[in-house]
Each structure stands twice: as C-alpha cells, then as structure tokens.
C-alpha cells in the first residue's frame, strides 16, 4: 500500500523508470528490482527513519559487489529461492521493536521489510519472508549490557 502511494505521488518514480529500462536488457527479476529497492531504502534514510542502511546478497563484508547478479536470478529461477541481508542502522523504531520483541508479541513495527516485500511482489512476482535480528556491534559478555544499534533483516525470496 505504501509503495503504491509512493509511486502514485511520484516519490519513487525514478526506480520504476530504471526498472523498465533494465527489463529491456533482459535482466532477471531480482536484478531489475535493484533500483526501486535502493530508492526506497534511500527514502527511509532521507526521511530520518534510519541513519544508514546496507543491503547485500550474502554475509560477505565486501560492499563493492552488486546487490544481486545473474547468479542470484539463476538461483531464483532454478531452485526457487534466493537470500539477502538488509541492515538498518539506528532505526527510529529500534527501542519499540526491542521492547515488543522482549515481550514475545506477534506484532512488530517493521516498515522496511514490508516495503521491500511489496516491491519484490509487485515488480518481480517474488514472495518474501524474513527474520529480524538485533545486532550490537560490540561483544559484551554480560547480556544486560546489550546495546544493539542495527536491525538486521535476513530475507528469503521465493518464486
């Protein structure tokens, strides 16, 4: 719903135009969604929802490679699945998410995961599921000294 509204308002129209030009080059479903995915993540950053973000297709620390490539599209086509990791640094909802998660509630204020899922579903016909983890960049032996600043979404994409 939010993705449709952003596209209607022209807030993320650049990603839509880039996606149509990518499809002309016979890119796969994942590769063709990269511009819209990055554009929505940039929108979250510009709006002040988070300080920064990082998206990658593996646990590799190397950011120089593409988010998705033809091998990811091939994996999605042949095996029906592909994975990616999205890190959201200092999201505005981090405190609420930690509190709600600590109470074992089924509700969580997750705007990023649902927005990305909507883009993949709408523009690639790709379904997604994800798990959310809270990451503290520093190891602390005492669990009471746990101060996460990152919300990590481990996303599984299915055709």
The predicted model scores a pTM of 0.83
Pairing of strands 52-56, 81-89: antiparallel
Strand order through the sheet with 52-56: 52-56, 81-89, 150-158, 127-135
Token pair of 145, please? 């000294």
Instruction: For residues 73 and 83, give the distance between their C-alpha atoms in angstroms, rounded to a whole number.
Output: 11
The Cα 60–Cα 57 span in angstroms is 8
Predicted local confidence at residue 96, as pLDDT = 92
Determine the pLDDT at residue 63. Answer: 65
* Helical spans, DSSP H, in 55-148: 70-79, 94-102, 112-124
To the nearest 10 degrees (0 to 180), the angle between helices 112-124 and 29-46 is 150
Q: What is the pLDDT along the chain (159 residues), one digit of tens a residue?
A: 677 777 788 777 644 444 444 444 446 899 999 999 999 999 999 999 999 999 988 766 666 678 898 999 999 999 999 999 999 999 999 999 999 988 888 888 889 999 999 999 998 899 999 999 999 999 999 988 999 999 999 999 998
pLDDT at 25: 47
* Per-residue pLDDT, 60: 67
Name the nearest CA neighbour of 153 among 56, 79, 17. Answer: 56
pLDDT at residue 64, as a whole number: 66
């Amino acid at each position: 719903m939010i993705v449709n509204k952003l596209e209607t308002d022209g807030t993320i129209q650049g990603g839509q135009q880039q996606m149509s030009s990518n499809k002309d080059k016979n890119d796969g479903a994942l590769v063709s969604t990269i511009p819209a995915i990055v554009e929505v993540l940039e929108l979250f950053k510009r709006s002040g929802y988070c300080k920064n973000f990082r998206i990658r297709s593996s646990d590799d620390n190397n950011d120089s490679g593409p988010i998705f490539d033809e091998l990811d599209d091939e994996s999605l086509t042949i095996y029906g699945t592909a994975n990616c990791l999205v890190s959201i640094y200092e999201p505005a909802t981090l405190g609420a998410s930690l509190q709600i998660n600590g109470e074992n509630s089924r509700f969580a204020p997750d705007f990023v995961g649902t927005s990305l899922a909507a883009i993949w579903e709408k523009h690639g016909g790709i379904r997604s599921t994800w798990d959310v983890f809270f990451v503290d960049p520093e190891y602390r032996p005492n669990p009471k000294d746990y101060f996460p600043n990152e919300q990590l979404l481990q996303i599984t994409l299915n055709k």
